[in-house]
Structure 1
Amino acid sequence: MPSNPSLSRPTDRARVEARLRKMVERWPRVSGCLLQPDPTIVEGILQALVRSTMQHGLGYCPCRDLTGDPVVDRANICPCAHHAQEIAAQGHCRCQLFVSAAYDPAIAYRPEPATIQQRPLRSVRHRWVTVYTTHWCYLSRRTKALLDTLGIPYEDVNIEQDPEAAQRVEAWNGGFRSVPTVVARMVITEPTTSELATVLQTPSALLDALCVNVTQWCALSRRTLAWLRENGVPHVSVDIEQDPEAARRVSEWNRGYQSVPTLDLTLRITEPTSDELVRMLGLGMPR
């Protein structure tokens, strides 16, 4: 999401917040829509508008990407040019700051169902999932709801309450606080090539780290390493017969067995679709 050309940026945050708060409270009265009924969500979106104004000079909707063209992006200044049509069609604007009388949070925050076949890959032995979120973000809520439905435990990190986490998200996303950002560390043992492709070639997912624990004589280890090389997947390999600590980890992950290859990998994805999340976590394969 590239930045717009520099505009005059205000310096008085309190004044900006007061102006935007007045706009948010007044707009339903003059437009005929309603304000989001959850005051904590309203406050979260309001603070995002304040940050946008302090950074860009204008309060852009936090749920829309900027193009860098100020003429085009003007449509995204809250209340955005799209909100009336969205409210009429689905009962709320994209960020769900403004809603209609028919608004139902249970429906609005319901995740879109995954369309790929949901069948957990047998090779995935462990998952540790962290979801970087904000309380008010509708995509964050839908992603967590999907994980709850799938029975996947996760750590929920609210970046507005954790400055270091916010900095990590900004570093990962070109300076923007794009959420949800999902980070998954997984252990995958003796995968087939189709299972490798399912997880490692998930659209939009980025590979942060991959260590392949092998033995020199194991045919499946050699086949896995060959597939990774042929598909340009960066990795390091460790011979567990030469590394006692690696052998210990592999045994711990595989119920006492030194099963190889065992892959220790970390993937990251921002604003995933349901299909992308299911695929990246090894919970289903594309048809």
Structure 2
Amino acid sequence: MTSTLSVPQAAAVAEPDNLAALTRPDFPLLAQTACLGQPLIYLDHAATSQKPRQVLEALQHYYDHDNANVHRGAHQLSARATEGFEGARAKAAAFVGAANPNEIVFTRNASEAINLVARSWGEANLRPGDEVLLTVMEHHSNLVPWQLLADRTGCVLRHAGLTDTGELDLNDLRSKLTQRTRLVSLVQVSNTLGCLNPIAEVAALAHAAGALVLVDACQSLPHLPVNVKQLGADFLVGSSHKLCGPTGMGFLWGREALLEAMPPFLGGGEMIQDVYLDHSTWAGLPHKFEAGTPAIGEAVGMGAALDYLQAIGLDRIHAWEQQLTR
């Protein structure tokens, strides 16, 4: 049986102005003191978030009780490991409003998820002269994979600029959408500027031009509700360690029809259906994109982190952060 993890009880009745005091005890790392004996204050969440005890307990429980390979074992440990692993996929799907868990592909991080789209979708669909529209505020993870793709395919990269106030210049983006634009890939919340981009509006503009939309949601997922249908996205990537979960774990969400049409990203075990000496056939979604033994404990830990954030409430987290910035 999968363990039932505790969630922050006080958070269920907390008002936004009490969230910090109520959730701080959940984070063991914050119990230590910094210089001059003051309580440790951690402000580097945009780089990586701290882990609540609920996530640490989930990791410990998995390795203490369920550690085994997933999907292929007939014994009870494998069954429990598979239940926890696929349960985390279902939690990630619900967290972003996916149509079903098969639209969630586990990766090592968001960088790998973007590389997956660039390699698999990009190489299959882009030709010389086709355009990928980015913005100048993108993290390196949403620049370099497309630069490498441009080198391989001859596609052209364009970049929307910023306004004088450091926000996305929608007029510039609109002017750079052309009949050659095949994909618009941009961040929802900038890790450097902190601005919240109007993804739904960008998606409507992109789709009207015949382009797809990829959203880097690493910095938005832990801070406000994110729903792929409401955003109008075609792909969305996230990273566990920005969500109070373990490092080495991330995910790609993609519309099922797009994922079905894309070739595999990596080859190996698990992503195959039948293997012969001279050819192979591929497993169904999402396993077609998940070669080799996955990060099982990390997936379980990410599932616990998503439970933790959901228990507090993304609307209330967003309200608390708005209060802090006023």
- Check whether TM > 0.5: no
- The structure whose RCO (Cα within 8 Å, separation 6+) is larger is 2
TM-score, length-scaled by structure 2:
0.24
Larger radius of gyration: 1
TM-score, length-scaled by structure 1:
0.27
More helix by share: 2
